[in-house]
Amino acid sequence: MSIQWFPGHMASARKKAAETMERTDVVIEVLDARLPEASCNPMILDLREHRSRPCLKVLNKSDLADPAATGAWLHFYNAQQNVRAVALSCKKPGDAARVPGLCAALAPHRGTRLKPLRMMIMGIPNVGKSTLMNALLKRRAAAVGDEPAITRSQQNLALNECMTLTDTPGLMWPKIAHDSDGFMLAASHAIGRNAVMEEEVAIFLAGLLLARYHAFLATRYGFAADSMDGADVVAAIAKCRGYRIRGGEPDLEKAALALLRDYRTGALGRISLETPQSRSAMLGEATAQRQGEHI
């Protein structure tokens, strides 16, 4: 199954973002620390590079991510030109307070009353853009919730006399090139539920957990996952939790939702769905597959 999600309002949101980029000094791109590259919208890269704008990549939800993987991602991004990366939790005011200073370092020619530093917060849905906006302003200026695509329009506000913020709607791109990215995004609740089948997403997630976080499954659910595949894990969760439908068959949908919820809330443990190494391997396999198709 290939997962795609590009609601109609996002086309107009992209156009508006392109217009605002001209009046922006620094792009704050909020990513999900558990899947930084899968949650990185290629259209944002195109928009900011067209205007040669520097970028602060905020790896949000780092308190839910594997610390070792997050460290590798910070090294990966901080080696890029015109980019600075930081890992934090936008729900923690002390973490969010670091952002303006990091942005100021990327645009030292701005940040006065005559030339305020103009920052634009961008990213895909449900990664914490509005949460960051509210934390920086120290008030609820933007609606937040555990559903993607809550913000539908831009909002421009003054952070202080020398800095301004623009909050933008969550922006997806028209075609997700790699199936695994779609599944990782769906597992992390960045894609609307009407575009996915939770059971298939949970089976994908379970397979990844078997490969990288095998012990977390045993600790959380109390069964040995030896010789299981993703579908077996979902069925085992239904059995151990007593999830049944009429007739006594396991309720796989309820088990799938339980696994996804436990991952999203951190109840399973601190998990990263990708690392720079796994990303490189996935891209290499995709390239080899395309080349093989043309032979």
pLDDT for 135-182, tens place per residue? 998 887 655 545 444 555 688 899 999 999 998 888 888 889 999 999
Question: What's the distance, CA 289 to chain centroid?
Answer: 26
Mark out the alpha helices in 79-229 (DSSP H runs).
93-96, 99-106, 129-137, 179-187, 198-212, 214-221
Residue ranges of domains in the chain, CATH in brackets: 9-167 (3.40.50.300), 197-284 (1.10.1580.10)
Kind and range of the H or E element at 30? Answer: strand 26-32
| 287: Cβ contacts below 8 Å, ≥ 6 apart | none
* Strand order through the sheet with 117-122: 83-87, 55-60, 26-32, 117-122, 163-167, 155-160
Predicted confidence at residue 162, as pLDDT, reads 96
Q: How many CA atoms lie within 13 A of 50 on its CB side?
A: 14
Nearest-angstrom CA–CA distance, 109 and 111: 7
Convert the pLDDT of each residue in 78-94 to its tens digit: 999 999 999 999 988 89
Position 38 pLDDT exceeds 70: yes
pTM across the whole model? 0.91
Structure tokens at 183: 């599944």
Predicted confidence at residue 9, as pLDDT, reads 65
Residue 36: count of CB within 10 angstroms of its CB: 29
Structure tokens at 257: 């939702």
Q: Closest Cα partner for 185 from 210, 151, 175, 43? A: 175
Residue 1: count of CB within 10 angstroms of its CB: 11
Predicted confidence at residue 154, as pLDDT, reads 80
Q: Closest Cα partner for 26 from 82, 96, 97? A: 82
Nearest-angstrom CA–CA distance, 10 and 29: 17
Q: Closest Cα partner for 118 from 133, 132, 103? A: 103
Task: Report which DSSP code applies to 39.
Answer: T
